[in-house]
Amino acid sequence: MSPTRLPTQLHRALAPELARVSEVRHSVSALLRRWGAGKPLADDVQLVISELVANAVVRGSGRVVLTIAEIMGHITVKVSDANHAHGPNKHLGARRLEGS
């Protein structure tokens, strides 16, 4: 991350439409570039977010909410929908922004 203050979080509420997946992917790509993420890491994060948002649209219910944050050099992604049933939580590990 550069020493200038950049937004460290993106929070978006999305209509449950598959067309939103592409829009989110472009927004996330621009955000990751501003954060200084390397291409391999940015590609991985975009793929994960695309899959999570598409899954929430297809299998969830209601509005989809995406939150992506950079915290101390790590990227955290959360995707939720209006379905209150809880699926399994999985921690898939972390990669540092510099470790792209």
Residue 63 domain flag: yes
Residue 31 domain flag: yes
Q: Are 35 and 70 in contact (CB under 8 A)?
A: yes
Count up the domains in the chain and report the number: 1
Residue 3: pLDDT above 90? no
Q: What is the DSSP string of 19-51?
A: HHHHHHHHHHHHHHHHHT--HHHHHHHHHHHHH
Residue 65 domain flag: yes
Threshold 0.85, pTM exceeds: no
For 13, the enclosing helix (H) or strand (E) is strand 9-14
3-class secondary structure, 69: strand
Length of the chain: 100
- Which CATH number do you get for residue 44? 3.30.565.10
**What is the C-alpha radius of gyration for the chain, rounded to an integer number of angstroms?**
14
Q: Using pLDDT thresholds of 50, 70 and 90, give the confidence band for residue 97.
A: low
Residue 38: pLDDT above 60? yes
Residue span of the structural domain in which 17 resides: 9-82
Residue 94 domain flag: no
